[in-house]
Amino acid sequence: MKKSIIALLLVLVMALSLAACGGSSSAPAAEAPAADAPAADAPAADAPAAEAPADGAKVGATVLRCAFNQTIDNPEAKTIQKISDDLYDATEGRYSIEIYPSEQLGDQASTLEQVNMGTLEMTMIANSVIEPYAPDFAILGTPYVYDSVEHQERLFTSGKLDELYATTEASNFIVLSAYSLGPRNLYTRDGPVTTPEELKGLQIRVMGSDTCVAMMNAMGGSGVTMGQGDVYSAIQTGTLDGAENNIITYVDLVQYEVAPYYNYTGHLMIPDELVINTATFASMSPEDQAALKQVCLDSIPYMFDLCEELRADYVEKATEKGVTFSDADVPAFQALCQDLINSVANKDDLSKSVYEAIQSER
């Protein structure tokens, strides 16, 4: 009896062992991945996450990444999202765009370099960042060349900049469309600045281009190039006396906290351009390429209308925060910039042609 019980126990143990191993003598199951191993298409652990798509946003079979230096609430980010949704519809779900705002993938110069190298599909960058790649773009960012926001919108939708846009293809990117957040004005730390004499000697942050530095120097100040992320602390500590930007960006970046004097110099309406890597664009079918170009063109009036609605709201917001607004002596500043305008406009035949196009849309 004792031997029978032992034999029965051995049989039960063997049965349980077989069950634990799969209960089959066929080929073993594939080894399960380690619990902490990422999925094959998961981003690296230290990669920044894209902004979560807005409710109802459409995600295409191919998602193009677009880097952006402003916040996700900025009108240009909203414009990119509109382009994405319209592109999804126009390509029957083949394409959409994923936005990486707030310099998640680097500053503007860095993201354009990534597009140039083909490691990033798209970016929205200031005109001044394109200048080192295609110097004739400087004429679009020259002070006082636009009469009004409406004048600028007419130029950007006219098709008269196509020859200029073509000059970037040698640098592996294509300009799809141009936008503007509106007139840029001086804002200062220690008091209003409304004349060239009051600006004299002040250290003012400008975008990183020779044209922007020359502009500020001509206006009477001293132009200092600096990444946008450093401007707040530089004004706060006195390294800078102020900066210049449109009212929307000024408020979005809360720079009114350190520079509460906003002076209506209206010196610049520098474009921001949406660009795409040439190889990425070439990989699209001709029909999808045409769709992308069309939705970008259609987005320009949307962007200008959105900014027009917002500018008044942002002035009100800034006023509530204690900002002092002052009218400036625009003709005096404009006169000081005339030599710079002439120099840039007559640099070569293409710049002359673009300047003529600007004038024709007045």
CB-CB contact of 91 with 61 (8 Å): no
Q: Which of 86, 13, 348, 114 is nearest to 78 (CA)?
A: 86
pLDDT of residue 57: 83
Angle, in degrees to the nearest 10, between helices 75-90 and 286-320: 160
Residues 175 and 208 both lie in one domain: no
Asked if residue 26 is part of any domain, the answer here is no
pLDDT greater than 90 at residue 97: yes
Hey, is 172 helix, strand or coil?
A: coil
Residues 89 and 199 both lie in one domain: no
Q: Which residue has the higher pLDDT, 53 or 91?
A: 91
Asked if residue 96 is part of any domain, the answer here is yes
Assign 53 a pLDDT band (cuts: 50, 70, 90).
low
Q: Give the pairing type, strands 62-67 and 122-126.
A: parallel
Average pLDDT over residues 133-156: 97
The total domain count for the chain is 2
Residue 357 CB neighbour total at 10 angstroms: 17
Asked if residue 22 is part of any domain, the answer here is no
Residue 152 CB neighbour total at 10 angstroms: 24
Q: Which two tokens stand for residue 45?
A: 């652990």
Could you read off the pLDDT of 195-238 as tens digits, one per residue?
A: 999 999 999 999 988 999 999 999 999 999 998 889 999 999 99
**Residues of the domain holding 152:** 62-181+271-310
Q: What gap in Å lies between CA 70 and CA 103, rounded to an integer?
A: 7
Residues 175 and 134 both lie in one domain: yes
Asked if residue 11 is part of any domain, the answer here is no
Q: Which of 228, 245, 247 is nearest to 310 (CA)?
A: 247
Asked if residue 17 is part of any domain, the answer here is no
Residues 177 and 228 both lie in one domain: no
Residue 330 CB neighbour total at 10 angstroms: 14
Could you read off the pLDDT of 266-299 as tens digits, one per residue?
A: 999 999 999 999 999 999 999 999 999 999 999 9
Q: What gap in Å lies between CA 181 and CA 201, rounded to an integer?
A: 28
Residues 70 and 168 both lie in one domain: yes
pLDDT of residue 28: 29
Asked if residue 229 is part of any domain, the answer here is yes
CATH of the domain at 107: 3.40.190.170
What percentage of the chain exceeds 90 in pLDDT?
A: 81
In this prediction the pTM is 0.81
Asked if residue 37 is part of any domain, the answer here is no
Which has the minimum average pLDDT: 45-49, 71-75, 110-114, 155-159? 45-49
